[in-house]
Structure 1
């Protein structure tokens, strides 16, 4: 179960974060919100909840007037022109644990959302205060970017303020400038063709839609594709290779393998030294403690390693190429 609105506001008070609160009817658009927040000073914000083809999720928080081109943003993340689309409705409750129309950076306080990447509009820092829903769209709060940073730091979230209206060239000698923001610790699924009616590159605020509401949700579900069944030998070989590649591409799986091997070694050593039942019980307890204490730290280290390896590898590959005559 996710945090409630009151739990979040209590946490902000514990952090000594100053905010102005306005309770109002449920609102589903920025325009509707504007009618009820005149008693608090601040800039209205829109928040897009997005996913890529490999089921990695993103929250993009921006000033309401900032133009966000999903095609450009997708390219800057290294996902290609059509790599981003609105997240499906079920992801709001399963990943963020907030109702439709309530997505903001505060949703990242929930444990289920810790792998969601956050992209913040640089324009937020230019405002005295910015207005967000505190996990529920029947309330709005206004706070400054410095205090938003304080909250995000308290939950261990990386801060990334970017110029969302920029369109830098991307090519052979110019890698995607936002590639490090792709959540590499998410489960990587094989790409499947999807219907062409997805909302890609759509400027939602221009159409008066709410920040985070998915439209035509059925088009987000991948289509079922039939393929020719390979031979048994080739299928086993490709499965083994794919499994190995995914293990190293996904830090979660990589860490699980490390923990499994470590656990097996500890158990075997303890059972050799202690053939009695109490030795096995001791080994099980040690393994449980080991997994609990090292899991998150190793996942974080593996994610950092992958991001650095990507950046350094790309730079080395482009810099070391022979010059053409």
Structure 2
């Protein structure tokens, strides 16, 4: 589950980011938004959610009047003329976890968007304030580029400002100037339905490692007990890479430890008390732990990515 509008605004307040908030009816276009905040102190923005042929995703955030040529941008990223297109609507919910009309740089706060690349219009820096939807298009907030940078850095997404209207030559002796902004890993949509077991043996599943396709053999799980499966899953690296599973494991151990002590001092008539305490702890701690673990993972991922870039030999 992605962050809510309330959680995002609370995060901005924790980061001491100043913003003005304007509530209005749901809007799906910049033109509709302008009817409610166009007269306010701030520049309107447009936000594009794009994908390339390798299932890598991008958010382009620009001033409403900035001309963004997808063919030119695609070449500048090293993807060829037709390498970029609008991402499918289902990717909004699965990758950046926002409804239609709510794409903004704030969408990157969701852990599922960790591999999404962000390109910011350098003209945003020329504005005193810019308007964005805070994960919901029934509200617009105005903030400056400096505070937007502060937010992006806090989630491990250093801002990248580019001239989106530039059209530099790309050729053999002039490499794509924005190639460094192409995501290093592919972010794929949810897996298709599993096929029934085949008599021809284990299925070969293509995966991507460093953008080089390989094949991994999918092995059918053994008939271990459900309890053993659960324990193995909880202790696997994949489980701890998922903040939801990671937090659930922490809550399970925390709550069970706390309640084990409480139960020793209450009778059966007070067992409902332990249930109430358990639910309260999960509710109060869950969101906070998920936020902390997501920030930790995003930071670790970014540092690892930077280290990998520095270790790669210069290809040019």
Q: Same fold (TM over 0.5)?
A: yes
2:209 aligned to 247, 259, 267, which one?
Answer: 247
Closer/same/farther in 2, CA of residues 170 and 138 from structure 1, 3 Å limit = same
CA RMSD of aligned residues (A): 3.5
Q: How much does 1:304 deviate?
A: 3.7
Closer/same/farther in 2, CA of residues 116 and 138 from structure 1, 3 Å limit = same
SS at match of 2:314: helix
User: Does 2:104 align with 1:142?
Assistant: no
Q: How much does 1:29 deviate?
A: 1.2
The 8 Å contact of residues 184 and 307 in structure 1, kept in 2 or not, is answered as: no
Distance 1:298 1:150 in 2: 18
Closer/same/farther in 2, CA of residues 167 and 154 from structure 1, 3 Å limit = same
SS at match of 2:91: helix
SS at match of 1:108: helix
C-alpha offsets along residues 7-64 of structure 1, whole Å, 9 cap, x if unaligned?
1111111111111111001111111111101463100000000000111100000000
Which residue is equivalent to 2:288? none
| TM-score, normalised via structure 2 length | 0.66
SS at match of 1:41: coil
- Give 1:222-301 correspondences, 5 Å limit: 246-249=208-211, 288=236, 292=240, 300=302
SS at match of 2:37: coil
Closer/same/farther in 2, CA of residues 249 and 310 from structure 1, 3 Å limit = farther
The 8 Å contact of residues 75 and 176 in structure 1, kept in 2 or not, is answered as: yes
The 8 Å contact of residues 114 and 298 in structure 2, kept in 1 or not, is answered as: no
Closer/same/farther in 2, CA of residues 159 and 112 from structure 1, 3 Å limit = same
The 8 Å contact of residues 122 and 161 in structure 1, kept in 2 or not, is answered as: yes
SS at match of 1:180: helix
Q: How much does 1:303 deviate?
A: 3.8
The 8 Å contact of residues 156 and 302 in structure 2, kept in 1 or not, is answered as: no
Closer/same/farther in 2, CA of residues 182 and 311 from structure 1, 3 Å limit = farther
Q: How much does 1:159 deviate?
A: 1.2
The 8 Å contact of residues 96 and 108 in structure 1, kept in 2 or not, is answered as: yes
Which residue is equivalent to 2:87? 87
C-alpha offsets along residues 251-280 of structure 1, whole Å, 9 cap, x if unaligned?
9x9xx9xxxxxxxxxxxxxxxxxxxxxxxx
SS at match of 1:136: coil
User: Does 2:14 align with 1:41?
Assistant: no
C-alpha offsets along residues 173-212 of structure 1, whole Å, 9 cap, x if unaligned?
11111111111122589xxxxxxxxxxxxxxxxxxxxxxx
User: Does 2:78 align with 1:78?
Assistant: yes
Unaligned runs of 5+ residues in structure 2 are 190-202, 217-231, 242-295
Compare relative contact order (CA 8 Å, sep 6+) and give the higher one, 1 or 2.
1
Runs of 4+ aligned structure 1 residues displaced above 3 Å come to 284-311
Q: Give the number of equivalent residue pairs.
A: 237
Which residue is equivalent to 2:273? none
SS at match of 1:174: coil
SS at match of 1:68: coil
| TM-score, normalised via structure 1 length | 0.64
Q: Which has the higher strand share?
A: 2
Distance 2:21 2:233 in 1: 47
SS at match of 1:137: coil
Which residue is equivalent to 2:23? 23
The 8 Å contact of residues 47 and 61 in structure 1, kept in 2 or not, is answered as: yes
Unaligned runs of 5+ residues in structure 1 are 190-235, 257-283, 316-325
